[in-house]
Amino acid sequence: MRAWLSIVPILLFACARPTPAATPPIAAAPSSPAPPVVERVDASAQPLFAAAQVEGVFVMRSLTTGEQIVTDAALAGVGELPASTFKIPNALIGLERGVLAGADATLKWDGARRGGSPEWDRDHDLGSALRDSAVWFFQEVARRIGAEAMRASLIAFAYGNADIGGGIDRFWLQGALRISPREQVEFMSRLHRRALPVAREHMALVEHMLTRAQAPGWSWRGKTGLTAHEGRAVGWLVGLVERRGTTWAYALMLRAPEAEAERLMPVRVELARALLVRYGALPAEAGR
């Protein structure tokens, strides 16, 4: 396992490919004041994590009522590398700074095979780069944004510790950036409310591009992330769910020994789906 991990030292895994969205970009939500957050700890979901043989936490907030469910109060506040979930703010900053001209903004692949997913090894536009989690695409976007603008944007976003130490093209992969599940949920909440300091159309576009699955009456959006450091694998799925006029922001974070990192790839999606169904955000048939 370790020999395979060494092929891609800056990011270990591709994200699962979401179902392509077939509808036009969603309408921008009003940037009205958010309701006060009222957190409720529900430890009854812990057997789901135990059955999957992972340590983990799930946070889900109703953007309508402010009710926030947390399955592990302590772990919900622990900062970890965001890995590929950082592609969400990276895309927003790239659009806002003019590095990306829009959904069809294309970067040419340089021909270097970096390991990971074979879908990475081709030209990508923003939509396909998000869908296939093309690491090199977003590394180039970050280099073009530059350290000063990146740091300023992350501070303005209140994105985790906003620390870009470790290199402009790897700080979210192996560097100093850390974000907790609660902070991920807050960031996604602000994205949906159009309360981030970027153009509303950029927020609407990126949110739409996160669509994993949808049907009449509901939609499931999210971005996976997976990396390993200090002997531990960390897996993420963060996003938004809309159903019956209510929107929820959610974050799932999983941890396991580094040697089990590849196992987390399907587990993070199945566990997130099960928890979203458990708490009523998704219907039972969603994502099947």
Q: Which domains does the chain have, with CATH numbers?
A: 2-278 (3.40.710.10)
pLDDT tens across 137-175, in order?
999 999 999 999 999 999 999 999 999 999 999 999 999
Per residue, the 3-state secondary structure of the chain, as one string, reads CHHHHCCCCCCCCCCCCCCCCCCCCCCCCCCCCCCCCEEEECHHHHHHHHHCCCEEEEEEEECCCCEEEECCCCHHHCCECCHHHHHHHHHHHHHHCCCCCCCCCEECCCCCCCCCCHHHCCCEEHHHHHHHCCHHHHHHHHHHHCHHHHHHHHHHHCCCCCCCCCCCCCCCCCCCCCECHHHHHHHHHHHHCCCCCCCHHHHHHHHHHCEEEEECCEEEEEEEEEEEECCEEEEEEEEEEEECCEEEEEEEEEEEEHHHHHHHHHHHHHHHHHHHHHCCCCCCCCCC
Could you confirm whether 84 is annotated as catalytic?
yes
pLDDT at position 18 is: 45
Write down the pLDDT at residue 193.
97
Check 6, 32, 44, 84 and give the catalytic one.
84
Q: Residues in the chain with pLDDT < 50?
A: 1-28
pLDDT of residue 29: 53
Which pLDDT score, from 0 to 100, does residue 26 have?
45
Residue 115 has a pLDDT of 67
